[in-house]
Amino acid sequence: MIGRKNREQRTLFIAGDIEQFIPEDHILKRVDRILDLTWLREEVRECYCEDNGRPGIDPEAAVRLMLAGFFHGIVHDRKLMREAQVHLAIRWFAGYSLEDELPDHSSLSRIRQRWGVERFKKIFQRSVKACIEKGLVSGETVHIDATLIRADVSWESITERHAETVVAENEAEEDTGSNNLQARRPGRPRTREGYPKKVSMTDPDATLVTSRGDFHLEPSYKQHTSVDDKAGVIVDVDLTTGEDNEGQRLIETIDRIEDTTGRKLQQVTADASYAHARNYEELERRGIDAIIPPQRERSKEKRIPIRRFKYDGKHQVVKCPGGKILGRTGQRANGWVYSARKSDCEQCRLRERCLPETAHRRVILIVEGYEALLRARRRKLLGWDNDTQRVYGRHRFRVEGTHGEAKTQHGLRQAIRRGLVNVAIQVYLIAAVINWKRLARDGTISYPSSWHSRQVSRLIYCIVSTIQENLNLRMVQFIL
Ligand code: SF4
């Protein structure tokens, strides 16, 4: 039989706490049991005047509102506050009753500006610490990867970088009142920095990059994420501009992870963009197993590749396929230049395959850590053992899966604000949200002391409001 709902019957009074309407397994209820932000008030105290001005929003309530938004993938403040008006769980999580007036959306922006990025970083670090205390972090195997975040800019704002340089120069001249005509001429900049390269005028911190060779460039930021293997906790997160090379940040990332966890790393997995010779060498030196597939050597114009040259690190010489010795002739930032003798190459039978037409001798660059790179290549060529393959197999679902989760469920697909600092706040809060999700999923939860005191106050509130409602009803009956 088809049921019928009488839409006219509305409850006149609601007795008790709004918590009773939120299911026990709701994400905000589960997170509330383990979330401890009582330290925050002291942390931000210096951002507020002690004895002047209107009382601001409670710091814990403000952060809870922001976190509740990211838990539900609501990234914009306006939308979040509109949702909070009708969303019981968000109201309850942030500590607002049904009658309480919610803060204006602009207050959340002002709070972010006032507190600065470091305080939001501490919120993330506290989430890692909570996971470590609950034994969710092994600190032995870490998966590291980077992902691009689309900047919040339009295509119309993209211009060539030298145009931006000219605008900046003109503005500087207007400021100084300079009448130097030579300096004002918008000629081609002399430095490499100023060569035509696209940049966004509205968010210059974002740079044009792509994650795939067959995809167009987009103005982006880059998030560097390190995920622990045990329970998928994010132990480190960092944000740079899109064109930053993640391979050059590996060692400093490992330092930070070891500082955070207080344990020595045993294994690191990363993709081929981290396969720098220096990284292999440094990880070897520290006794960390580098599970990083080496990149294929790129050989230009079908010339004899560098791998055919035998490097002797002990005597610092290179032996070419023609049997000649190449000695050191110069130094670069990332290694040493080795050159063959002109006379050797002129008489060599391999000359056509080894040298470009215009060159008189072969010159190669041996990068720092080249021997460690050769060992890593040999290891991969011989085939990784089962254990190594198993750990690298987890790289995809652990760190790449975390990026997918952050983008599809928590609003990391696009930056919601402009500037490195503002996007970093978004990144830290989303990483903290994911960690608290992991913690809330764990069965062995012990509640913080603040949770117990909240439960007691809620119980008292329930009892008082029930008595109040009964009294109200009796008064109504008496009047009728
Ligand atoms: S061309 Fe020069 S560097 Fe190349 S194999 Fe011959 S001698 Fe060696």
Q: What's the number of domains the chain is made of? A: 3
pLDDT band at 456 (very low <50, low <70, confident <90, very high): low
- Would residue 439 count as lying in a domain? no
- Would residue 257 count as lying in a domain? yes
Q: pLDDT digits over 212-251, tens only? A: 777 788 889 999 999 999 999 999 999 999 888 999 999 9
pLDDT (average), residues 370-375: 92
If you measure from the C-alpha of residue 322 to the centroid of ligand 1, how many angstroms do you get, rounded to a whole number? Answer: 5
If you measure from the C-alpha of residue 373 to the centroid of ligand 1, how many angstroms do you get, rounded to a whole number? Answer: 23
- Would residue 12 count as lying in a domain? no
pLDDT averaged over every residue in the chain: 84
335 C-beta closer than 6 A to ligand 1: no
Let me know whether 286 and 164 are in one domain. yes
Let me know whether 213 and 287 are in one domain. yes
If you measure from the C-alpha of residue 308 to the centroid of ligand 1, how many angstroms do you get, rounded to a whole number? Answer: 11
pLDDT (average), residues 140-155: 92
Q: pLDDT digits over 22-43, tens only? A: 898 899 999 999 999 999 999 9
Looking at residue 468, what is its pLDDT? 63
Domain with 33 in it: 18-115+447-479
Three-class secondary structure assignment of the chain? CCCCCCCCCCCCCCCCCHHHHCCCCCHHHHHHHHCCCCCHHHHHHHHCCCCCCCCCCCHHHHHHHHHHHHHCCCCCHHHHHHHHHHCHHHHHHHCCCCCCCCCCHHHHHHHHHHHCHHHHHHHHHHHHHHHHHCCCCCCCEEEEEEEEEECCCCHHHEEEHHHHHHHHHHHHHHHHCCCCHHHHCCCCCCCHHHCCCEEECCCCCCEEECCCCCCCCEEEEEEEEEEECCCCCEEEEEEEECCCCHHHHHHHHHHHHHHHHCCCCCEEECCHHHCCHHHHHHHHHHCCEEECCCCCCCCHHHCCCHHHCEEECCCCEEECCCCCEEEEEEEECCEEEEECCHHHHHCCCCHHHHCCCCCCCCEEEEECCHHHHHHHHHHHHHCCCHHHHHHHHHHHHHHHHHHHHHHHHCCCCECCCCCHHHHHHHHHHHHHHHHHHHHHHCCCCCCCHHHHHHHHHHHHHHHHHHHHHHHHHHHHHHHC
Q: Which residue has the tokens 């049991």?
A: 33
Q: Is the pLDDT of residue 452 over 70?
A: no
Q: Which residue has the tokens 């469920």?
A: 409
List the CATH number of the domain containing 164.
3.30.420
- Would residue 141 count as lying in a domain? yes
If you measure from the C-alpha of residue 290 to the centroid of ligand 1, how many angstroms do you get, rounded to a whole number? Answer: 34
Q: Is the pLDDT of residue 55 over 90?
A: no
If you measure from the C-alpha of residue 317 to the centroid of ligand 1, how many angstroms do you get, rounded to a whole number? Answer: 14
Q: What percentage of residues in the chain have a pLDDT greater than 70? A: 82
Looking at residue 49, what is its pLDDT? 85
Q: Is the pLDDT of residue 472 over 80?
A: no
- Would residue 363 count as lying in a domain? yes
Let me know whether 43 and 80 are in one domain. yes
Let me know whether 111 and 133 are in one domain. no
Q: Which residue has the higher pLDDT, 476 or 279?
A: 279
Let me know whether 49 and 108 are in one domain. yes
Q: pLDDT digits over 179-217, tens only? A: 443 444 444 444 444 456 778 888 888 888 887 777 788
- Closest to 95 (Cα-Cα) out of 119, 65, 123, 115: 65
Closest residue by CA, ligand 1 atom 3:
362
Let me know whether 361 and 225 are in one domain. no
Ligand 1 atom closest to 351 (CA) = 1
348 C-beta closer than 6 A to ligand 1: yes
Let me know whether 202 and 337 are in one domain. no
Q: pLDDT digits over 402-425, tens only? A: 999 999 999 999 999 999 999 999
Task: Report d(CA 413, CA 424) in Å as an integer.
Answer: 14
Q: Which residue has the tokens 């900046």?
A: 168
pLDDT band at 177 (very low <50, low <70, confident <90, very high): very low
Let me know whether 139 and 227 are in one domain. yes
Q: Is the pLDDT of residue 448 over 60?
A: no
pLDDT band at 175 (very low <50, low <70, confident <90, very high): low
Let me know whether 310 and 290 are in one domain. no
Let me know whether 105 and 149 are in one domain. no
324 C-beta closer than 6 A to ligand 1: yes
pLDDT (average), residues 146-152: 93
Looking at residue 157, what is its pLDDT? 81
- Would residue 75 count as lying in a domain? yes
Q: pLDDT digits over 58-93, tens only? A: 999 999 999 999 999 999 999 999 999 999 999 999
Q: Which of 306, 309, 320 to mutate to test the pocket of ligand 1 (most atoms within 8 A of CB)?
A: 320
Let me know whether 269 and 409 are in one domain. yes
- Would residue 259 count as lying in a domain? yes
Looking at residue 182, what is its pLDDT? 41
Q: Which of 354, 361, 363, 366 to mutate to test the pocket of ligand 1 (most atoms within 8 A of CB)?
A: 354
